[in-house]
């Protein structure tokens, strides 16, 4: 069964406004920070908003807002660090979501290329430079045994998810999403790069079935 339609070349070009500086924020953890709870920040830090952050003179790292409550902000993407003192937010048009679907039993053995071998629909990145900030997945049927297969994404053969020793999160019949289990050394994607879905090994009985999910990217 083919993947859900996604990016194509030749589509209309969307003009994306520049990044905008966040005046002040305070680190709380690698996935949370606080800002003043005012009307401006309530409008800025809405779920799905792309953000980027770094230490002074450092390299920008990318994520998205996943929640806001009374000035407390949660994110998914590259981990936030105590050294980060610069942050910017972008227009939601910078966020691109790519859906994937792998029909049937998919985890009877380790497989680093589920889109090519099982879905028979390889994914080549057709846009400019971007960063994979969240990996989500769900199965129609879990493995009938105790252990579930783990799933992550790779870019040019390099695993992006860092959870469970870079094997990704275990599948379930509900949606499972990464938070800050993202490898900043491999989450960048450039035009022409190959993106794949990876399973580390079979579950107990190798009968987990029908994998679907999404990959959330933030354009540079």
Tell the residue number behind the tokens 């354009």, with chain if given.
Answer: 219
Under the banding of pLDDT at 50, 70 and 90, the label for residue 7 is very low
**pLDDT tens-digit readout, 22-48:** 999 999 999 999 999 999 999 999 999
Share of the chain above pLDDT 70, in %: 92
Check residue 220 and give its pLDDT. 95
Check residue 61 and give its pLDDT. 98
Under the banding of pLDDT at 50, 70 and 90, the label for residue 201 is confident
Check residue 6 and give its pLDDT. 43
Question: Can you say whether residue 77 is alpha, beta or left, with left for phi > 0 and alpha for psi between -120 and 50 degrees?
Answer: left
Question: SS in 3 state form for 141-152?
Answer: ECCCCCCCCEEE
Residue 37: helix, strand or coil by DSSP?
Answer: coil
Mean pLDDT within 131-145: 97
Using CA atoms, how far apart are residues 76 and 213, in angstroms rounded to an integer?
A: 16
Mean pLDDT within 59-66: 98
Under the banding of pLDDT at 50, 70 and 90, the label for residue 8 is very low
Q: Residue 182's beta-bridge partner residues?
A: 161
Tell the residue number behind the tokens 């297969």, with chain if given.
Answer: 149
Check residue 108 and give its pLDDT. 86
Check residue 37 and give its pLDDT. 98
**pLDDT tens-digit readout, 82-129:** 999 999 999 999 999 999 999 999 998 899 999 999 888 899 999 999
Query: Edge-to-edge strand order for the sheet containing 26-29?
Result: 20-21, 86-89, 50-54, 61-69, 72-77, 32-34, 26-29
Q: Which helix (H) or strand (E) holds 40?
A: helix 39-44
Which residue, 16, 32, 34, 14, is CA-closest to 24?
A: 34
Check residue 13 and give its pLDDT. 55
Check residue 203 and give its pLDDT. 85
Mean pLDDT within 191-210: 92
Q: Locate 151 and state its tokens.
A: 């799933």
User: Taking 50 as the threshold, does the pLDDT of residue 2 lie above it?
Assistant: no
Residue 176 phi/psi, 5° resolution? -110, 130
Distance set, CA 52 to CA 14, 131, 153, 214 (Å): 20, 11, 21, 21
Tell me the pairing of strands 20-21 and 86-89: antiparallel
Using CA atoms, how far apart are residues 122 and 17, in angstroms rounded to an integer?
A: 31
Asked which of 3-17, 48-62, 84-98 is least confident by mean pLDDT, the reply is 3-17
Share of the chain above pLDDT 90, in %: 86
> Can you give the length of the chain in residues?
220
* Contact in structure between 132 and 216 (CB atoms under 8 Å): yes
Under the banding of pLDDT at 50, 70 and 90, the label for residue 5 is very low
The whole model's pTM is what?
0.90
Nearest-10 Cα torsion for 50, 47, 115, 151: 110
Using CA atoms, how far apart are residues 35 and 22, in angstroms rounded to an integer?
A: 9
């Amino acid at each position: 069964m083919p993947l859900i339609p996604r990016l194509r070349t030749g589509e209309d070009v969307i003009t994306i406004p520049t990044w905008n500086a966040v005046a002040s924020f305070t680190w709380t953890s690698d996935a949370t920070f606080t800002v003043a709870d005012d009307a401006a920040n309530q409008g800025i830090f809405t779920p799905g908003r792309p953000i980027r952050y770094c230490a002074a003179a450092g390299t920008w790292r990318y994520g998205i807002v996943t929640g806001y409550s009374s000035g407390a902000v949660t994110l998914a993407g590259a981990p936030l660090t105590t050294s980060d003192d610069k942050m910017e937010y972008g227009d939601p048009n910078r966020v691109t979501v790519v859906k994937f679907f792998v029909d049937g039993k998919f985890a009877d053995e380790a497989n680093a290329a589920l889109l090519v071998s099982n879905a028979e629909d390889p994914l080549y990145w057709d846009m400019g430079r971007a960063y994979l900030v969240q990996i989500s997945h769900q199965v129609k049927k879990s493995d009938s045994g105790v252990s579930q297969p783990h799933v992550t994404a790779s870019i040019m053969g390099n695993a992006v998810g860092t959870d469970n020793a870079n094997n990704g999160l275990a599948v379930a019949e509900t949606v499972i999403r990464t938070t800050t289990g993202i490898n900043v050394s491999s989450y960048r994607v450039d035009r022409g790069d190959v993106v794949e879905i990876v399973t580390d090994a079979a579950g107990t009985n190798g009968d987990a079935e029908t994998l679907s999910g999404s990959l959330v990217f933030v354009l540079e």
